[in-house]
């Protein structure tokens, strides 16, 4: 497993991170989730990403149990705060109250005294940024959080938060955006700003929710046991599951074959070619998926391969920076 530094900090993370957004506590049984975590540890993944809202807080609890007994100093555990985790008016957002209470609850579920990275899951325009950043800084000073990050923030929001972080003498070191061959909205504005401010990207959905594995075929219904075939989860994929996109994706298969890679490995390797990307988050419902995806670590794609990928995908790639995910 290759490692990279996260932002302009001393924190080293595995360039393949294990995430449990759509799996732990919902799509897969706990014993399967534990098997996937063990597989991740076995192949050298040390970075684990979750959030309080995943599976209604259950994902954090599953991950905490799965990592119990591991040497804490050898792990980088990341979680997030923002989305509602309860019925109350203060059970959401980036107020001081919600940040502090959510952090304490996450630490309990994760069975740890601190998290390595605490991330604002979205930007909260209803709360003064000073309140949010001061609450985060206080958690750092209390030793409950080591570093700070954001997720799906726009370039100007990242710049403003970075300035406050410097004033508060804490380290804002990462953004967690969606990024893949098909979704490149961070390239025009977020990446340049992040480079200037000392942040790296920890990217989610490098496989475009599984579309870039090539298992979804034009003119055919998604397999019933796939994410795309799932009644609720599959709805978030509808823009990818068009014949135009799926036909373009199939044109990546000969490129992957020539390189001796699976299509999933090619997709993960592609995001890691961006020097501002510190890690690609992979999810898994089976250990073999972990073993397959990690083979993308350390792969270097020549410039001509990158150009062929661009040509194959053509105009189905989304690049509009205004489409930073807010939902």
| Averaged pLDDT, 52-62 | 92
Q: Residue 269: its pLDDT value, please?
A: 97
Mean pLDDT of 180-199: 97
Read off the pLDDT of each residue in 79-84 and give the average, rounded to a whole number.
Answer: 96
State phi, psi for 54 to the nearest 5 degrees. -60, 125
Is the pLDDT assigned to residue 115 strictly greater than 90?
yes
pLDDT band at 233 (very low <50, low <70, confident <90, very high): low
Across residues 100-118, what is the average pLDDT? 98
- What pLDDT score does 299 carry? 94
How many other CB atoms are found less than 10 A from the CB of residue 192?
Answer: 13
Which one has a higher pLDDT value, 133 or 216? 133
Tell me the fold of 3-208+270-299+317-323: TIM Barrel (3.20.20)
User: Catalytic positions, please?
Assistant: 54
Give me the mean pLDDT over the 194-200 stretch. Answer: 98
The whole-number average pLDDT for the span 105-116 is 98
Q: How confident is the model at residue 231 (pLDDT cuts 50, 70, 90)?
A: very low
Q: What is the pLDDT of residues 118-170, one digit of tens each?
A: 999 999 999 999 999 999 999 999 999 999 999 999 999 999 999 999 999 99
Per-residue pLDDT for 228 more than 70?
Answer: no
Can you give the residue ranges of every domain in the chain? Answer: 3-208+270-299+317-323
92 phi-psi bin (left φ>0, alpha ψ -120 to 50, beta other): beta
Enter the pTM of the model: 0.92
Q: What is the mean pLDDT of the chain?
A: 92
Whether residue 255 is predicted with pLDDT greater than 90 in this model: the reply is yes
Query: Each residue of 31-46: pLDDT tens digit?
Result: 889 999 999 999 999 9
Q: What is the mean pLDDT of residues 275-303?
A: 93
Q: What is the structure's pLDDT at 109?
A: 97
Q: How confident is the model at residue 26 (pLDDT cuts 50, 70, 90)?
A: low
pLDDT of amino acid 28: 75
Report whether pLDDT(327) > 90. Answer: no
> Which position has the higher pLDDT, 52 or 236?
52
**149 compared with 234, residue with greater pLDDT:** 149
Would you say residue 235 has pLDDT above 90? no
Decide if pLDDT at 227 tops 90.
no
Could you give the CA distance from residue 42 to residue 262 in angstroms, rounded to a whole number?
21
Distance CA 171, CA 8 (A): 9
For a pLDDT cut of 90, what percent of the chain falls above it? 81
Percent of the chain with pLDDT over 70: 93
> With 70 as the cut, is the pLDDT of residue 13 above it?
yes
Cα–Cα distance, 176 to 173 (Å, whole number): 10
């Amino acid at each position: 497993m290759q490692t990279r530094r996260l932002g302009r900090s001393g924190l080293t993370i595995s360039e393949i991170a294990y995430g449990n957004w759509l799996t732990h506590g919902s799509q897969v049984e706990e014993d399967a989730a534990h098997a996937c975590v063990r597989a991740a540890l076995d192949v050298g993944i040390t970075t684990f990403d979750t959030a309080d809202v995943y599976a209604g807080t259950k994902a954090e609890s599953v991950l905490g149990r799965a990592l119990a007994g591991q040497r804490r100093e050898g792990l980088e555990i990341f979680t997030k705060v923002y989305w509602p985790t309860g019925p109350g008016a203060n059970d959401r957002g980036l107020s001081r109250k919600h940040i502090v209470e959510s952090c304490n609850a996450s630490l309990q579920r994760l069975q740890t005294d601190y998290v390595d990275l605490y991330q604002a899951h979205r930007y909260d325009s209803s709360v003064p940024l000073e309140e949010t950043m001061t609450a985060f800084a206080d958690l750092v000073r209390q030793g409950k959080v080591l570093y700070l990050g954001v997720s799906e923030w726009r370039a100007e929001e990242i710049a403003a938060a970075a300035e406050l972080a410097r004033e508060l003498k804490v380290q804002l070191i990462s953004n967690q955006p969606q990024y893949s061959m098909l979704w490149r909205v961070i390239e025009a504005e977020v990446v340049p700003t992040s480079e200037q401010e000392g942040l790296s990207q920890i990217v989610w959905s490098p496989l475009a929710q599984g579309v870039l594995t090539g298992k979804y075929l034009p003119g055919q219904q998604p397999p019933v046991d796939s994410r795309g075939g799932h009644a609720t989860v599959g709805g978030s994929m509808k823009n990818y599951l068009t014949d135009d996109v799926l036909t373009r994706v199939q044109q990546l298969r000969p490129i992957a074959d020539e390189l001796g890679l699976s299509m999933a490995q090619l997709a993960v390797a592609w995001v890691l070619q961006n020097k501002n990307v510190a890690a690609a988050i992979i999810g898994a419902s089976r250990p073999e998926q972990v073993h397959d995806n990690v083979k993308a670590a350390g792969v270097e794609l020549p410039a001509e391969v990158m150009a062929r990928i661009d040509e194959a995908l053509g105009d189905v790639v989304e690049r509009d920076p205004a489409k930073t995910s807010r939902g």
